[in-house]
Structure 1
């Protein structure tokens, strides 16, 4: 009896850990069934994005959404643009001869230093869903910190990007 309990105690931790992986962080579903019948649900209160296929949860990612005063819009949208190498047309740096002369700027505010050009912040794996808003790879500090977009860690952004196509529904909830 003692031996049986000991073996059970050895098997229990791996079984408990395995139960945590029943909903994959980003599962192998990317290879199953193309990109049809998928949707992305962003839950701002949870700071998470969920990818569903055929109403079944397939992937989960942490996010960083819009900070106070620059909120992420809520509602029902769809992917209207995919751009793996997207750059912001609003936020970035002024650069002259390859060197940054003014950083972290909003192109709508202030002047451009003489002889410089605007270089937008990289937003890899951009999935535009409304106006200037989209999901893309970026810094995810664990709280709302963006200018309105939904940032995902690089590897998650790529997988979400690869998993969807134009027209995929995007639902953003509080």
Structure 2
């Protein structure tokens, strides 16, 4: 008599694994495969400030979604129609960061416009990986997401999603930020 365990396992495994798959899913479908079929044309990024969410569309179809953290009160993220005007994989802030001396942080989390530089120190801008600038001072990039608007105007995404959005678009891609 032949064992039926392997055939039962094969039959039920997809059903058992589907909740795990969908629970961890933050994108639809993998963007890597799409890059081979049509490049980055027809893409658009939409950010909803009230929902604290971003979506990436390809030819009108949503292909990725992500939670975000946008500008806090007094430092709001601008709303309107924009385009990606700069891509910088290893961007650093020119306003916010730390003063360092000999590789050690002397003054942490400063705004260079408000905090004088201590003697012998240099400014090291806060890292903003996978930066997609869409206005003079704002862009989408990887960063901390506390679950509410907390940035100085930029749109922060989880590292993995920031890379996906970065890899999926080019300079000129439309960015719509709505309230």
Q: TM-score, normalised by structure 1?
A: 0.87
User: What residue number does 1:101 align with?
Assistant: 106
C-alpha spacing 1:56/1:96, structure 2 compared with 1 (3 Å): same
* Unmatched tracts of structure 1, length 5 or more: 1-9
C-alpha spacing 1:115/1:47, structure 2 compared with 1 (3 Å): same
RMSD: 2.2
User: What residue number does 1:4 align with?
Assistant: none
Structure 1 residue corresponding to 2:57, chosen from 49, 52, 55: 52
SS in 2 for 1:39: strand
C-alpha spacing 1:143/1:26, structure 2 compared with 1 (3 Å): farther
SS in 1 for 2:149: coil
**Runs of 4+ deviating beyond 3 Å:** 13-21
SS in 1 for 2:90: coil
Q: For residues 111 and 32 of structure 2, what CA distance do their matches in structure 1 show? A: 36
User: What residue number does 1:142 align with?
Assistant: 147
User: What residue number does 1:31 align with?
Assistant: 33
SS in 1 for 2:166: helix
CA positional deviation for 1:101: 0.7
1:24 and 1:58 in contact (8 A); partners too:
no
CA positional deviation for 1:31: 2.4
User: What residue number does 2:92 align with?
Assistant: 87
1:26 and 1:159 in contact (8 A); partners too:
no
* Unmatched tracts of structure 2, length 5 or more: 1-11
Q: TM-score, normalised by structure 2?
A: 0.84
Q: How many residue pairs are counted as aligned between the two chains?
A: 164
